[in-house]
Amino acid sequence: MNDAKTVLELRNVDKSFGPIDVLHKINLSVKAGEVLCLLGDNGAGKSTLIKTMAGVHAPTSGEILMDGKPVSFSGPKAAQEAGIACVHQFGGTFPLMSISRSFFAGVEPTKGWGPFKVFDRKKANEIAVHEVRNFGITRIDDGDRLVGGLSGGERQSLAIARAVYFGARVLILDEPTAALGVKQSAHVLRIVNEAKRRGLAVIFITHQVMHALAVGDHFAVLIRGAIAADFKQGEKTREEIADLMAGGESMADLEAKVGVQA
């Protein structure tokens, strides 16, 4: 229907933990170069939904398609190899490691031969600093600095830059701005836009309407595990979105009733 390619698609996905049904018949898709904002109240199932996409949970029923082909991930590692990267609120970086060492954790560049392969610090520093600066964090110029010395926003950005460098095509951000102040949040939103500009499909979870409106192309509101609304940028006003996020179903019902009577 559109020119951009759908990267990740969920069809009728259900997820239950034993007797507890958390997700019901989720249909959702995200395209390359698009930011999908996932909105919803606490406990609505947002985190469960993205964990299902990222291979942490397997769907109870339903299908996940990547580039139109059904996939099933054995774990987060498999999802990552397929190009789905998850950046959590605080995770993804190691506070007491240097920027470059944390950037390359698990995939260290080496030099030398045989058992004497050493971590190529110079190369790692160059790449890590270059990649992070390309995302607009010009304050970082030394790969030997500790991650713990970075601000929360910079850490998020570092994690995002890392995911992009290692070939992520779908970037999942679970409340990246939750712990951040205004300035730091703006920083992360800028990075999200940059990732989008580079053609990544971004899934962005937030409780803040302002942040959602600033970067979102496409919004999905989750209420008690079901998609209650799915709309494009400009199709709903900020007030409508806020009501959907805060009031949930009952508010929407109420609104509908008021609308009928009027």
Partner 1 sequence: MSEAIQTAKSSKPIASRLSVGELMRSPAMGAFVGMVLVFCIFAAFGYHKNFISIVGFANWMNFASMIGIVAIPVGFLMVAGELDISVGAIMPASAMTLGILCGPYELPLGIGMLITFAMAAVIGCINGILVTRTQVPSFIVTLATLFAVGGLTLTLSVIFVNRPQVAYEAPELAKALLGDRYFGFRASVFWWILLSGILYFILHKSPWGNWIFAVGGDPESARNAGIPVNRLKISLFVLSAVCTAFAGMLQVAAFNSAQSATNFPLIFNTIIACVVGGVVLTGGFGTLIGIFLGTMTLGIVQQGIGYTDIDRNLSQLIIGIMLLAAVLMNGTFQKLATSWSTGKKED
Ligand X SMILES: Nc1ncnc2c1ncn2[C@@H]1O[C@H](COP(=O)(O)OP(=O)(O)OP(=O)(O)O)[C@@H](O)[C@H]1O
| Cβ proximity of 145 and 154 under 8 Å | no
Q: Choose which of 28, 48, 153, 201 interacts with ligand X (CB under 6 A).
A: 48
Contacts with ligand X by CB under 6 A: the residue count is 11
Chain positions 45 to 84 lying near Mg ion, rule: CB under 5 A, are 47
Distance CA 47, CA 60 (A): 16
Residue 208 engages Mg ion in binding (rule: CB under 5 A): no
| Cβ proximity of 83 and 167 under 8 Å | yes
Tokens of 204: 């962005």
Residue 107 engages partner 1 in binding (rule: CB under 8 A): yes
Nearer Cβ to partner 1 (43/75): 75
Contact pattern from residue 78 through residue 117 relative to ligand X, giving x for each residue in contact according to CB under 6 A and a dash for the rest: ----------------------------------------
Residue 77 engages partner 1 in binding (rule: CB under 8 A): yes
Residue 19 engages ligand X in binding (rule: CB under 6 A): no
Nearer Cβ to ligand X (13/164): 13
Neighbours of 1 (CB within 10 A): 3
Distance CA 223, CA 225 (A): 5
Minimum distance from residue 90 beta carbon to ligand X (Å): 13
CA distances (Å), origin 136, targets 82, 86, 129, 140: 26, 20, 11, 10
Residue 43 engages ligand X in binding (rule: CB under 6 A): yes
- Give the sign of the dihedral formed by CA 92, CA 216, CA 170, CA 163: negative
Collapsing DSSP to helix, strand or coil, 143 comes out as coil
Contacts with Mg ion by CB under 5 A: the residue count is 1
Q: Which of 12, 36, 15, 18 is nearest to 200 (CA)?
A: 36
Binding piece for partner 1, criterion CB under 8 A, among 59-67, 97-105, 218-226, 228-236: 97-105
Minimum distance from residue 115 beta carbon to partner 1 (Å): 9
Q: Choose which of 1, 19, 20, 96 interacts with ligand X (CB under 6 A).
A: 20
Residues that bind Mg ion (CB under 5 A): 47
